[in-house]
């Protein structure tokens, strides 16, 4: 860790010198005491460094008919442990299915219900640094913890009115979550570390890491506050009104900013049709903007490469793909990839996705990542 600390300023100086020599290339400047990395609209990796992220499909788990263990109803999330075991959330089935590195079914964790180890609507999953499985049950208003072997460990109750979306656990065992509060015109987002006492969530406002306010959501595709936990408990967050990513240390102090030029994508007719259906079904006055935000989601791999799911679409061989921008750990826009999904886990040069087949059923896919 200390070596990395010493190397970081040297790397910044070298990158700065290199970037200043090439007009239009990524450049790093110090602004308000922190490095700001400026990127062009197209990838410009550092010469001699990888510039392509090639994906080779090597595994698909899921069938439309056959063994029930391999049939999924709705997958909102998945995670992968250090051994390559895949933990797949089946929200409607109210359980977690576990598969080994070869895709073989191992076990089912949890079942439908309200008791210990039981779930109603599991929505997110996180393999913690403490080697536990944390599952958010959005209908039981709790966090369920299991061992990697599937044994139920404990359940933590979330008070009514406190919304958890995609909580993470840092290396110290703190649970970090975003809390949203609303006033007449603004939405306030606070990243907070939680302490836990007995079986209830004990919240202390002294543990607020970061606070950010923005106008209340007006349109279906308005910008929303987005964040992820990185290595060394650093935090990356963004409000995609513009293409900026902010990195904080564990105490909430800014340590880097990444900026990228971009051209706003136009809202697709598919989204407009989807909004129209919701209006008709629920009778809600929902609007959709003609232009999309800068990006939709942020993912971070195990070496702090940053994958940004944009609203841009690409069509290849008649198929629609999502465009994902890939930044190296220094924030340099190195390449872009094309995926069929918005759910991504990337560990040990393996990329895991949840995709829908042309027949309409969900599968988990694993790709081998080759850097060139």
Burial label for 334, CB within 10 Å (0-12, 13-18, 19+), is buried
- Which residue, among 224, 227, 204, 205, has the nearest Cα to 214 in the 3D structure? 224
Q: Classify strands 34-39 and 254-260 as parallel, antiparallel or unpaired.
A: parallel
pLDDT value, residue 218: 77
Q: Residue 297: in which H helix or E strand, if any? A: strand 297-300
| Closest to 370 measured CA to CA, from 345, 350, 352 | 350
Is 326 in contact with 334 (CB distance < 8 Å)? yes
Token pair 């006033």: residue: 183
What is the reported pLDDT for 207? 84
Which residues are CB-neighbours of 268 under 8 A, at least 6 positions away? 313
Neighbouring C-beta atoms of residue 272, cutoff 10 Å? 14
Residue 293 DSSP one-character state: -
One DSSP character per residue, 232-269 reads GG-EEEE-TTSSEEEEE-TTS-EEEEEEE---PPBPPH
Residue 169 contacts residue 129 (beta carbons within 8 Å): yes
Q: What is the pLDDT of residue 9?
A: 46
pLDDT given for residue 25 in this prediction: 52
Tens digits of residue pLDDT in 45-92: 888 888 999 999 999 999 988 899 999 989 999 999 999 999 999 999
222-231 pLDDT tens trace: 889 999 999 9
Q: What is this structure's pTM?
A: 0.87
Question: What single string gives the DSSP state of each residue in 18-35?
Answer: HHHTSTTS-EEEEETTEE
The pLDDT assigned to 124 comes to 95
For the chain, which residues score pLDDT lower than 70? 1-26, 195-206, 275, 278-280, 282-284
Can you tell me whether residue 94 is helix, strand or coil? coil
């Amino acid at each position: 860790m200390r070596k990395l600390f010493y190397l970081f300023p040297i790397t910044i100086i070298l990158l700065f010198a290199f970037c200043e020599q090439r007009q239009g290339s990524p450049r790093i400047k110090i602004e308000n005491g922190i490095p700001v990395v400026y990127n062009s609209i197209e990838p410009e990796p550092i010469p001699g460094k990888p510039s392509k992220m090639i994906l080779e499909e090597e595994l698909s788990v899921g069938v439309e008919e056959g063994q029930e263990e391999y049939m999924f109803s709705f997958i909102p999330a998945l995670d992968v442990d250090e051994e390559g075991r895949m933990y797949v959330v089946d929200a409607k089935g109210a359980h977690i299915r576990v598969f080994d590195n070869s895709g073989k079914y191992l076990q089912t964790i949890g079942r439908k219900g309200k008791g210990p180890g039981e779930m109603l609507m599991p929505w997110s999953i996180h393999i913690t640094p403490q080697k536990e499985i944390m599952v958010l049950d959005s209908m039981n208003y709790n966090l369920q913890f299991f061992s990697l072997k599937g044994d139920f460990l404990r359940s933590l109750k979330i008070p009514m009115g406190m919304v958890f979306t995609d909580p993470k656990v840092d290396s110290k065992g703190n649970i970090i979550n975003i809390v949203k509060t609303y006033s007449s015109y603004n939405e306030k987002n606070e990243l907070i570390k939680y302490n836990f006492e007995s079986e209830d969530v004990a919240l202390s406002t002294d543990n607020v890491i970061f606070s950010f306010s923005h106008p209340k959501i007006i349109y279906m595709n308005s910008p929303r506050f987005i964040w992820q936990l990185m290595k060394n408990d650093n935090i990356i967050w963004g409000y995609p009104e513009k293409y900026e990513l902010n990195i904080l240390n564990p105490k909430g102090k800014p340590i880097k900013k990444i900026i990228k030029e971009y051209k706003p994508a136009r809202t697709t007719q598919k989204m407009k049709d989807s909004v129209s259906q919701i209006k008709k079904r629920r009778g809600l006055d929902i609007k959709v903007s003609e232009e999309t935000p800068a990006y939709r989601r942020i993912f971070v791999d195990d070496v702090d490469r940053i994958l940004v799911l944009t609203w841009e679409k690409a069509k290849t061989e008649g198929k629609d793909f999502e465009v994902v921008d890939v930044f190296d750990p220094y924030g340099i826009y190195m390449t872009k990839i094309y995926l069929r999904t918005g759910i991504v886990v990337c560990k040990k040069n393996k990329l895991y996705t949840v995709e829908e087949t042309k027949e309409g059923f969900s599968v988990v896919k694993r790709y081998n990542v080759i850097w060139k």
